[in-house]
Amino acid sequence: MNKSAIHLVVFACNWDGLSCIEEAARGGLTYPASVRVVRVSCLSRVHQGLMLKAFELGADGVMLLGCEPGNCQYDIDAGLVTREYEKARIVLGLLGLGKERLVLCHIPRGDGPGFVRRVTDFIKELEQVRPAIPARA
């Protein structure tokens, strides 16, 4: 990977989250190639271990991209992912990496421009907080 780029992992839920990423592509929008998407069935599938794993592997930031409240395909309580997200943020703070490296985004279904805006804004924020994670050997 490009050493200077901001490495961003997006955990996207297969439903509304992925639909935003897909609409961005269909709408001819672009975003940096250092953004890497991991598709999961539902954000509630992602526990804090997986979020932290991304940082362990060198990610500069992790975005959790899921449905707006009430839109979940599985009627899963949105509190589940929020709890995991909060726990992971505490760990990030304790590790000195900074809580702001993990964000939870609920954006409307099919909002391609919204996704691109959020992801580019997040990259800009991360650029501000560098230097980031020491490169693992």
Rule CB under 8 A: is residue 31 a binding residue for another protein?
A: yes
Selection from 101, 86, 94, 99 nearest residue 6 by Cα: 101
52 binds another protein (CB under 8 A): no
Among 90, 108, 127, 130, binds another protein (CB under 8 A): 108
- Is residue 104 classed as helix, strand or coil in its secondary structure? strand
**Distances 80 to 34, 69, 85, 106 between C-alpha atoms, Å:** 28, 12, 9, 14
List residues near another protein by CB under 8 A.
Answer: 1-2, 5, 7, 9, 14-16, 18-19, 21-22, 24-26, 28-34, 36-42, 44-47, 49-50, 53-54, 57-59, 70-71, 73-77, 80, 84, 108-111
